[in-house]
Amino acid sequence: MMETMIVIALLLASGLGAQDFSKIMIEKVGAGNRFTEGPVWSKEGFLIFSDVPNNRMLKFIPGTGVATYRDNTNGANGNAIDSMGRVLTCESRTRRVVRTKKDGGLEVLAEKFEGKRLNAPNDIVVRKDGNIWFTDPAFGAQDETRDLDFYGVYHISPKGELSLVAKPKGRPNGIALSGNGRILYVVNTDERAVYAYDVDGQGRATNERVLIKDIAGPPDGLKLDEKGNFYIAATHLVVYTPQGKLLKTIELAEKPSNLAFGDPDYQTLFLTARTSVFRMRLDVKGAVNY
């Protein structure tokens, strides 16, 4: 696939750690999809992402282009990679969380809570010790047919035990960990906010608090860089300091849905955005917690 280069000059009054936003290059590396989501960088050297309505997962291979990763994905949405290189996926249609085994088979990690089906698992993150967290909102028709009477944030222990972290009033969406794996961050789309939780060695979450408020446009996915800055997919890509102060708004050709750091040096930010996938090189690495 031919890669279309878009150069955007961005003037920034204040710096973002080592990052210089005076001029960055945003490059389209994928197009022709219906709704892209769930980007994650594989340890095999390519980006995996979901095309949710088309019921498939794709991979972008630098220098080669986009190819099929897996078909018939049950509405795959958010994805994550564990320390063993296995792909964890939120399946929106089957309302479950699965793990792709090395032989290509699927292992169900979560599908019911207290005997009732999950709403529609959306986004997921895994720590290097095997602890997993995911969000379970419901959008559209699934909000009208859910079994549970709440939206949830959940934890899966390395032993496979499912527990409830939070029952937010608004719908939880994007989810991420700090670089040291000790703080869990959850986007609340309806409240246009980011919540933070302290997580211990067993994955238990405490000390819920609101870190970022009044995000412009309903926020979706988020990631952190190694300096603790937040990159949030909202109406545009918005960047916040570790203290929750807005640093920059970056407009894309399409509304972004999610994002992931990648390339071998973990210094490229990939963004899924409606029908396309974009990337931009930064002067700072992404936070690594797996």
Q: Strands 237-240, 230-233: parallel, antiparallel or unpaired by DSSP?
A: antiparallel
Query: Is residue 1 predicted with pLDDT exceeding 60?
Result: no
Distances (CA, A) of 137 to 141, 177, 187, 200, 228: 12, 19, 11, 24, 26
* pLDDT the model gives residue 14: 39
Of 3.40.30.10, 2.120.10.30, 3.30.450.40, 3.30.365.10, the CATH number of 4-281 is: 2.120.10.30
Per cent of the chain over pLDDT 70 is 92
Query: Is residue 15 predicted with pLDDT exceeding 90?
Result: no
Query: Is residue 244 predicted with pLDDT exceeding 80?
Result: yes
* pLDDT the model gives residue 290: 62
* pLDDT the model gives residue 66: 98
Contact 75, 52 (CB under 8 A): yes
pLDDT digit string, tens, across residues 59-106: 999 999 999 999 999 999 999 999 999 999 999 999 999 999 888 899
Quick one: which of 130, 139, 140, 138 has its CA closest to 109?
Answer: 130
Locate the domains of the chain by residue range: 4-281
pLDDT grade for 13, boundaries at 50, 70 and 90: very low
Q: Which residue has the tokens 């990631």?
A: 223
**92 versus 7: which is more confidently predicted?**
92
What are the contacts of 210-214 at 24+ separation with CB within 8 A?
211/185, 211/244, 212/240, 212/244, 213/244
Summary mean pLDDT of the chain: 92
Side by side, which strands form the sheet with 87-91?
76-81, 87-91, 96-100, 106-110
Query: Is residue 7 predicted with pLDDT exceeding 90?
Result: no
